Structure formats: structure tokens, C-alpha cells
Amino acid sequence: MSGHSHWARIKRAKAVTDARRGKAWSRLSRGVIIAARTGGGDPDANLSLRYAIDAARDANMPKDTIERAIKKGTGDLGGATYEELLFEGYGPGGAAILCSVLTDNRNRTSPEIKKIFEMNAGRIGAPNSVAWMFKKRGVILIAANKTDEDTLTNLALETGADDVKSLGEAFEVTCDPAVFGAVRQALEAAKIQPESAEVSMVAGSAVTLKGEEAERMMRLIEALEEHEDTQDVHSNFEVSDEDAARLAGG
């Protein structure tokens, strides 16, 4: 859990440029397409699609763009056929990495992702070499000035969330994916706006990285995230508060 907390804090603190927002919309759109293709175009009956739509809305993606993505997924509109791939590997200091991609050309994407690992002090692992460490969890970050721990704890008890953790300048609420929607609705009803909310892959244990190792790990993860086919990158690395602030540019 702790590794995810630091990584989420670093990502949240980084400035989001228009170019990165455009890439985020492309990534989120592909996520909607895959969810609709797999489970149908009705978000009330397809939980994965509902979460993909929520993520797209959180990124301020236009409604018509979301609707087009759903139609592409259900086959009502033409478009590229995407394939899901999962790359497992290790970064500096032996930290575990999961990198999920959506690609319309496996033969192009696979060697490119492998090269990113190799060029950034990482290495690709065999299937399930690190995936077993991770579990799908709902993770919600809320700025500390938006609420208090007692309020969030009561909300967690009411909705079935598992844990509320103080990260200093933010709170982290974790839950089973099955109650993720209920937790978000409860926050909305309480007029508490999250900094981020996602169903993510969270490791059960963390690897602590310091100094140069932490910097190299960040370069590897950022390089993976910059690849046009990357959907999500998850890791179990942990850093100190000082390193987290430095890596976030603070």
C-alpha cells in the first residue's frame, strides 16, 4: 500500500500540460473502448465501463468523445482493434513493475516496451513474476484541506471501504473494487472532491528506494508512461518524504 501512496503523491504533484492531457484522453478513450467491447455498452450493467467513463469524466473528456469510444467498443462505429498486453518486470533496486498497454500492433509495441526497460536499468520478467504481488483495489486521494480524518473514517464505515490513511497533505481511502462506486457517490454527496480516484493495482509490500535508485526508477516509469500505447504503470517502490518532494519537483 505504502509504495502506491508515494507514487500517487508524486504523480499528483507533477504539473499536467496540455500535451499530457491530450495523451491522457487518448489513453482513457482506449480504456472505454476495451471495457465496452468486453462487457457491453451499458455502464449500469458493465462495472468496468462505468469506472472507465468516470475516469474519463474526471479528466474532463467531452461527453461526445466518451460516447464515440463506447460505440467503437460495441462495434457501432469502425476503428482500430486493440489488444491488451501486460508486461511484468523489475526496476532499479529490484522494485516490481506492472505495465499494461492497449495496442493495435503487438509486433511494434512489445519490442518498444522491452527496450524502455533495458535502457532504464530495468528488465522484463516472466509471466506472473510480479503480478502475484498486486491486488486490484479502489484508491481515492483527497486533499487534507478538503475534509478531516473522522469524516472520512465514518464514510468508510458506512460504505464498506477498508482503510483511511493520512499522508500528511492528503488522505488515502482504499476499498474493494465492488464498493468503489458507492464510496465515490458518498464523497460526492458529502461535497468532498477527490484529487484522484481509480481502481488500481496495489502491491502488498514495498521496496524502499533512495537517492539515485529512486531517480532511475522514476525515469523508467516516466519513460513507460510516455509510450503512446501505455494504459497504466504500477510499482511497489517506496521513497522517503524528502525524496518524494524532490522527485515531484517540490
For each of the domains in the chain, give its residue range(s) and CATH number, in order of start. Answer: 16-74 (1.10.10.200), 83-130+206-245 (3.30.70.980), 133-203 (3.30.70.980)
pLDDT of residue 26: 82
Q: Is a pLDDT exceeding 70 seen at residue 211?
A: yes
Mean pLDDT, the chain, whole residue set: 85
pLDDT of residue 123: 95
pLDDT of residue 13: 47
3-state secondary structure string across the chain? CHHHHHHHHHHHHCCCCHHHHHHHHHHHHHHHHHHHHHHCCCCCCCHHHHHHHHHHHHCCCCHHHHHHHHHHHHCCCCCCCCEEEEEEEECHHHCEEEEEEEECCHHHHHHHHHHHHHHCCCEECCCCCCHHHEEEEEEEEEEHHHCCHHHHHHHHHHHCCCEEEECCCEEEEEECHHHHHHHHHHHHHCCCCCCEEEEEEEECCCEECCHHHHHHHHHHHHHHHHCCCEEEEEECEECCHHHHHHHCCC
pLDDT tens, position by position, 131-146: 999 999 999 989 889 9
Q: What is the pTM of this model?
A: 0.76
Q: Is a pLDDT exceeding 90 seen at residue 59?
A: no
pLDDT of residue 244: 73
